[in-house]
Copies of this chain bind each other. A is one copy, B any other.
Amino acid sequence: MTARTSGSAPAGPGRRDTRQRRLLRDQLSRQEAFVSAQQMYDDLRASGDRVGLATVYRTLQAMTEAGELDVLRSDDGEVLYRQCGPQHHHHLVCRACGVTVEVDGPAVERWATTAAAEHGFTEVTHVVELFGLCATCSRPS
């Protein structure tokens, strides 16, 4: 007999606790900066832990869909991930070191909503990110 009989947790995909997922979660919670899948893969492997590249990609995507990670795209097209706070916010990212500050902008939210409405657009989302050099990376050599 295989069928789920009743009342317990819906035993679908994405809920097993594996060594690989633990490693990725841990590394993400230690990360201040936005990082790419490739970077996570290299970092893990550098610290002696073996995790398949495909698994890194899969897990990061899954965590993103589960709302546990924020995503953004670097200038050269790489997808970057970061564990952020739960409330809606935007990012101030250092172009040099990746360090990120979460910022909120009520004014921006309002503007986005009204601007979209004025033009008859529906189901509107917004992408709002700031890029610059953090205080540390701003300093001369």
- How many of chain A's residues have a CB under 8 angstroms from any CB in B? 34
Give which listed residue, B95, B121, B133, contacts A133 with CB less than 8 A: B121
Question: In this assembly, does A124 line the interface, its C-beta being within 8 Å of a C-beta of chain B?
Answer: yes
Question: In this assembly, does A62 line the interface, its C-beta being within 8 Å of a C-beta of chain B?
Answer: no
Which B residues lie within 8 Å of A134 (CB)?
Answer: 119-121
Residue among A95, A121, A122, A135 facing the most chain B CB atoms (10 A cut-off): A121
Which B residues lie within 8 Å of A127 (CB)?
Answer: 127-131
Which B residues lie within 8 Å of A92 (CB)?
Answer: 115-116, 119, 121, 124
Q: Closest B-chain residue to A131, C-beta based?
A: B125
Separation of A112 and B131 alpha carbons in the complex (Å): 10
